[in-house]
Amino acid sequence: MKRRTFLEAIAAVIVAGKTTFARQPGTQTAGLAAETRGAQAGLAVFDAGETATLNALADTVLPSALGAGDRRQAVRAFVSWFANYKPGADMGHGYGASTLRQPSGPSPIARYPPQFAALAEAARTRGAASFAALPPPARREVVEAFLNQPQPVNRLPTQPTGANLVADFMGLYFNSQDGWNLCYRAEINRDACRTLDNSEKAPAPIKG
Amino acid sequence: MLRYESDVVIIGGGITAALLAQKLLELRPTWSIIVVEAGARLFDNQNRLTYRKRNLDYGENMWPGDVVPDQSARGVISRTMAVGGSALHWGGVCNRFSEEDTRLHSMYGLATDWPLEWKELERHYCEAERRIGVSGEPSPLAEDWRSEPYPMKAMPATWNLIQLKAWAEQSGIRFWTTPQAKNTVAGYGGRGKCLRCNTCEVCPTGARYSPDWTFKQLLATNKLQLHDRTLVRKLALEDTGTRVSVAQASREDGTGAAVEYRARTFVLASGYCWSPHLLLLSANSRFPNGLANSSDHVGRYMTGHLAYQATIDLDAKIYPGMNEQHSLISREFFRCKPDQPYVRHDLRVWENAGGRGPQLRDAAGKVLLGDALISDWRTRTTRGTARVRGYFDAHPDRDSRLTLDAAAKNRFGDPLPVIQHRVDPATAARAGATREHFQTLFARLAKAGDGRVGQISALNYQDHPAGGCRMGLDPATSVVDTFGRTHDHANLFVVGSPTMPTGGCTNGTLTFVALALRSAMVIAGVDGPEANSRV
C-alpha cells in the first residue's frame, strides 16, 4: 500500500471509531465492557497484544536515556492510570468560577480499540504481524502518521483523553515527575513530600 | 421540628467562625455555642493523601463533597461549602493590609475610612497570626511595624526564590518571603511541620492551617456543638422589638427537616456572599428590605481587589515544582506618594512552569519524539521564568451589589444571590493609568535581569471578595458598627469579610480573621477599653 493510502486508512479507522462511539449504542456497550474489564482485572486493562503494542510504543517515543526498565515502568504507569480511573468522579470546582465542573466521563480507554486496530493494520500493510514486530524506523513512521491524521495533534495532553493513543501515552510520561526530572536533568521530584531542610539548594543532578 | 437553645449561634463554619468560636469559648467558657454550617464536615484526615494523589493523577476534587449543589450564586468565586469553608483549600497566604487601607479617605480623598484605629487592628493581626500559626519574615519597611514577632520562623526561601530575589532586587525594589499559615516547626497548633509537598490546597501533613483542625479540637472538649449539613434560611425577630429570636433552618441531609435555633446572640460568619444573602432573605413586615437593612446598605459596596500579572523570562536556572506556592512579596507599593497618580498594590513573585512543558511539535510543526522532544524542551527551559502579580485596590461603587435572583432558587424555594461587582467612578477613571503603571513596573523588573515580559493579563474577577455588610459609625451609610454589631438589631452580629468597607490590595483572609477576633470581645460582653473605645 502506498504511503498516502496507508495514512488514509488510519484516518478512516480513527474517524470511524470516534463517530461510532459517539452515535452507536452498540459500541457504548463495548466501552462499558472495557471499563468493566479494567475494574475487574486490576491492572490488566489492556490485553496481551495491546500491552505489546504499548511496549513497542514506549520503545519508539520515549527518550533513549531511559533504559528498558524505565520504559516498561512508563507502560505500567499508563496501564495503572486506566486501572484506577473512576468515571463519575467529583471533579471539584475551579477557584474564580461560579459553576461546578462536570463529573468525570467514561474511561477514555473505550476509544482505544479502533486505534490499536489501526496500528496493527498499519503494521500488516508493511508486512509485519503487529506494530511491535515493525523495525524502529517503520514504527516511527507509523507513529508520526498517527499524530498527523486525521487531524494533527498539536499538544500533549496532561492526562489521557482517548482522542489519540500515542499522544495520550506520550503526554502521561512527559508530563510526569520523571519526564520533568529528565528534562531538567535534576531530581526535582515535583510532587514528592520532602523536608524543609536544604530548601536553598538546587535539586541533585541526574544523568541523562 | 428540632429545636436548640444556646447562648450564641454562629451561622457559617469557615475560618472566621472557627476562630471566633475558639475565642468566645476562652472568654466565656461556660457559654453554650452552636455553629451551624450548610455543608458537610470533611474530617477524614486519613484520606487526604489519597485525595491528593487522585487530584494529581486525575484532577479529581481534593476535597470531595465540599459543595451543596443547589446552593449556588452567580458571581461567587468559590463553590466550597463545608465545615472549614474556603480556607479548607486556601494557599495559606497571611499578608496584612496596611494602615493606608483603613484611611483611604483621610489620606487620599478616596472611598471611605474604616471606623477603627490601625493600632487596634494590628493587635488583632498578631492574635490572628498566633491562632492560625503564621510563619513569616518581617517586612523591612518601617511602615510595616509589628508589635509582636511572627509566631514561627519564616518558611525558608527555596533555591528558586533565592534566584528570583537576586534577579528582582536588581530593579531596586526590595522583596522578602510571603508570610504563610504553614508550620515551620513541628507541633504548632498540634499540627505537623511542612514537608514541601507542593500541594498546599490539600496539605497531607496538616502543616498548612485549616479550620477543620480548630473545629475538631473544640469538639474534643465537648464545649462546642457543630451542626453541619444544616442550612439557615431565615432569621426571625421577637414579636415586639428588634432582637432576633430564632434562626430557622432546614437539614441538607435529604430529609429537609426543619430546625430552629434560639439564642441570646446570633453571629453571621458566612462570608461575603451568604451573610448579606441571609439578611435579605429574612425580610419581614417590619424590615421589608431585609434584616439590618434600614439603611438599604445590605448587599451594597461588594468589594475585593483586581490584579495585573505577567510572566517574565529571565536569565536564571529555575527548577519548577519544589514548593512552588512559596513566593516573594514586596510591600513598597502599599504606599502611594501624594504627588503621584494613585495606585496601591502588593507585588508577588513566583517560580513559573506555565507554558514550559513538553511540546509535541517544533516551531516548524514537525512531530517530535523521544530525544528530539527532550532536546527541544531543554532548549526552551534553559532560561527561567517568573510569574509576577500585583493585586491593586479597586474601590466599590454603592451599586456594587449582591441581590436576590428571583429566577434562581434552591431546593427549598429560596431565591439565590447574584453578585455584580462595580468599581466606583474614581477607580474606573484611573484604570488606564493603573494599567500603564503595571506595564512600566513589569518592564522595570524584566530589564534588570535581561528578562523579557510575556503577555500581561488582568484578573477578570475581584479576588478575596468582601463587603455587603460594611461597617461604619453612621447607621445611615453602613450595616454594622466597628465591632460587627448590626445597627438595627442589638443581638445580631456580622463578622469577618462582609464588614469590610474596602477590599485592600493583598490577600484578605488574615484581615477577615483579625476583624472577627476583635468582634469577639464585644460579642462576649467583655468590659474594657477595647470593647468600649469606639462604640
Task: Detail the DSSP E strand segments found in B30-153.
Answer: 33-36
- Chain A residue with Cα closest to B361: A154
Whether residues B61 and A180 touch (CB distance < 8 A) is answered with no
Note the pLDDT of residue B527: 53
Neighbour-count burial of B254, counting CB atoms closer than 10 A to its CB (0-12 exposed, 13-18 middle, 19+ buried): exposed
Residues of A in contact with B58 (CB under 8 A): 85-86, 89, 104, 159
pLDDT in tens, B97-144: 999 999 999 999 999 999 999 999 999 999 999 999 999 999 999 999
Instruction: Report strand pairing: B452-458 vs B303-314.
Output: antiparallel
pLDDT confidence of B190, banded at 50, 70, 90? Answer: very high
Query: How far is Cα A75 from Cα A172, in angstroms, rounded to an integer?
Result: 10
B467's torsion region: left (phi>0), alpha (psi -120 to 50) or beta?
left
B74: β partners: B418
pLDDT confidence of A21, banded at 50, 70, 90? Answer: very low
Our CA-based measurement puts residue A124 at a distance from the nearest CA of chain B, in whole angstroms, of 23
Among the partner-chain residues A85, A175, A188, the one whose CB lies closest to the CB of B358 is A175
Task: Supply B175's cell numbers.
Answer: 522583596
- Chain A residue with Cα closest to B380: A183
CB contact at 8 A, B278 and B235: yes
Q: What is the mean pLDDT of residues B245-256?
A: 96
Note the pLDDT of residue A97: 86
In the block, cell 513596573 appears at B441
Q: Over chain A, what HEC string results? A: CCHHHHHHHHHHHHHHHHHHHHHCHHHHHHHHHHHHHHHHCCCCCCCHHHHHHHHHHHHHHCCCCCCHHHHHHHHHHHHHHHHCCCCCCCCCCCCCCCCCCCCCCCCHHHHCHHHHHHHHHHHHHCCCCCHHHCCHHHHHHHHHHHHHCCCCCCCCCCCCCCCCHHHHHHHHHHCCHHHHHHHHCECCCCCCCCCCCCCCCCCCECCC
Residue type, B490: A
Whether residues B59 and A200 touch (CB distance < 8 A) is answered with no
Q: Identify the CA nearest to B343 among candidates B406, B407, B427.
A: B427
Whether residues A140 and B371 touch (CB distance < 8 A) is answered with no
Whether residues B196 and A196 touch (CB distance < 8 A) is answered with yes
Kindly give, in sequence order, each residue whose CB lies less than 8 Å from that of residue B186, ignoring residues fewer than 6 positions away.
B192, B193
pLDDT confidence of A15, banded at 50, 70, 90? Answer: very low
pLDDT confidence of A32, banded at 50, 70, 90? Answer: very low
CB contact at 8 A, B284 and B236: yes
Residues of B in contact with A99 (CB under 8 A): 72, 79
Percent of chain A's residues with pLDDT above 70: 78
pLDDT confidence of B355, banded at 50, 70, 90? Answer: confident
Note the pLDDT of residue A41: 41
CB pairs under 8 A between A and B: 168
Among the partner-chain residues B194, B371, B377, the one whose CB lies closest to the CB of A196 is B194
B399's torsion region: left (phi>0), alpha (psi -120 to 50) or beta?
alpha
Q: Is the pLDDT of residue B64 over 70?
A: yes
Whether residues A194 and B196 touch (CB distance < 8 A) is answered with yes
Task: Supply A144's cell numbers.
Answer: 508520526
Task: Detail the DSSP E strand segments found in B204-343.
Answer: 224-227, 230-237, 244-251, 258-268, 303-314, 328-330
- Chain A residue with Cα closest to B78: A95
In the block, cell 511540546 appears at B359
Note the pLDDT of residue B354: 87
- Chain B residue with Cα closest to A181: B319
CB-CB neighbours of B501 under 10 Å: 24
Q: Identify the CA nearest to B313 among candidates B386, B380, B368, B255.
A: B386
Query: How far is Cα B39 from Cα B300, in angstroms, rounded to an integer?
Result: 26
Whether residues B77 and A96 touch (CB distance < 8 A) is answered with yes
Q: Which among A141, A166, A193 is the top mutation candidate for probing chain B, defined by the most B β-carbons within 10 Å of its own β-carbon? A: A193
B404's torsion region: left (phi>0), alpha (psi -120 to 50) or beta?
beta
Mean pLDDT of chain B: 95
Residues of B in contact with A186 (CB under 8 A): 319
Residues of B in contact with A92 (CB under 8 A): 55, 59-64, 66
Domain ranges of chain A: 41-83+106-171, 176-208
Task: Supply A107's cell numbers.
Answer: 474511561
Neighbour-count burial of B239, counting CB atoms closer than 10 A to its CB (0-12 exposed, 13-18 middle, 19+ buried): exposed
Q: Identify the CA nearest to B392 among candidates B468, B310, B497, B306.
A: B306
Among the partner-chain residues A148, A183, A194, the one whose CB lies closest to the CB of B367 is A148
Residues of B in contact with A196 (CB under 8 A): 155-156, 184, 193-196
Whether residues B369 and A144 touch (CB distance < 8 A) is answered with yes
- DSSP characters for B277-308? HHHHHT--SSSTT-TT-TTS-TT-S-EEEEEE
Residues of A in contact with B460 (CB under 8 A): 96
Instruction: Using CA atoms of A95, A101, A103, A105 in order, give the dihedral in degrees to the nearest 10.
Output: -120
- Chain A residue with Cα closest to B62: A92
Note the pLDDT of residue A95: 84
Q: Identify the CA nearest to B417 among candidates B31, B66, B7, B81.
A: B81
Among the partner-chain residues B55, B69, B162, the one whose CB lies closest to the CB of A100 is B69
Task: Supply A15's cell numbers.
Answer: 474517524
pLDDT in tens, B407-448: 999 999 999 999 999 999 999 999 999 999 999 999 999 998
Residues of B in contact with A155 (CB under 8 A): 359-360
CB contact at 8 A, B34 and B12: no
Task: Supply A171's cell numbers.
Answer: 503526554
Q: Which among A183, A195, A197 is the top mutation candidate for probing chain B, defined by the most B β-carbons within 10 Å of its own β-carbon? A: A183
Whether residues B159 and A155 touch (CB distance < 8 A) is answered with no
Note the pLDDT of residue A10: 41
Residues of B in contact with A144 (CB under 8 A): 367, 369
Whether residues A104 and B60 touch (CB distance < 8 A) is answered with yes
Percent of chain B's residues with pLDDT above 90: 95
Residue type, A205: P
Q: Which among A99, A180, A182, A185 is the top mutation candidate for probing chain B, defined by the most B β-carbons within 10 Å of its own β-carbon? A: A180
**Rounded (10°) angle between helices A165-174 and A113-125:** 110
Q: Which residue has the higher pLDDT, B270 or B45?
A: B270
Query: How far is Cα A162 from Cα B202, in angstroms, rounded to an integer?
Result: 28
In the block, cell 517544533 appears at B362
Note the pLDDT of residue B337: 83
CB-CB neighbours of B288 under 10 Å: 8
Instruction: Report strand pairing: B224-227 vs B176-177.
Output: unpaired
CA A48 to chain centre: 16
Alpha helices in B288-393 (DSSP H): 370-380
Instruction: Report strand pairing: B2-11 vs B176-177.
Output: unpaired
Distances (CA, A) of B23 to A120, A187, B20, B309: 69, 45, 5, 38
Percent of chain B's residues with pLDDT above 70: 98
Query: How far is Cα B497 from Cα B378, in angstroms, rounded to an integer?
Result: 45
Task: Detail the DSSP E strand segments found in B358-412.
Answer: 384-393, 401-409
Among the partner-chain residues B66, B360, B463, the one whose CB lies closest to the CB of A154 is B360
Please state the ipTM of this predicted complex. 0.92
Whether residues B381 and A60 touch (CB distance < 8 A) is answered with no
Q: What is the mean pLDDT of residues B386-391?
A: 98
Distances (CA, A) of B489 to B243, B284, B496: 5, 14, 18
Query: How far is Cα A143 from Cα A131, in angstroms, rounded to an integer?
Result: 10
Whether residues B80 and A93 touch (CB distance < 8 A) is answered with yes
pLDDT in tens, B491-535: 999 999 999 999 999 999 999 999 999 999 999 998 544 443 332
Whether residues A61 and B369 touch (CB distance < 8 A) is answered with yes
Whether residues A193 and B197 touch (CB distance < 8 A) is answered with yes
Query: DSSP class of residue B396?
Result: B
Q: Is the pLDDT of residue B317 over 70?
A: yes
Residues of A in contact with B463 (CB under 8 A): 96
Query: How far is Cα B16 from Cα B35, in angstroms, rounded to an integer?
Result: 11
pLDDT in tens, A101-151: 999 999 999 999 999 999 999 999 999 999 999 999 999 999 999 999 889
CB contact at 8 A, B65 and B89: no
Residue type, B175: F
CB-CB neighbours of B457 under 10 Å: 12
Residues of A in contact with B67 (CB under 8 A): 93, 100
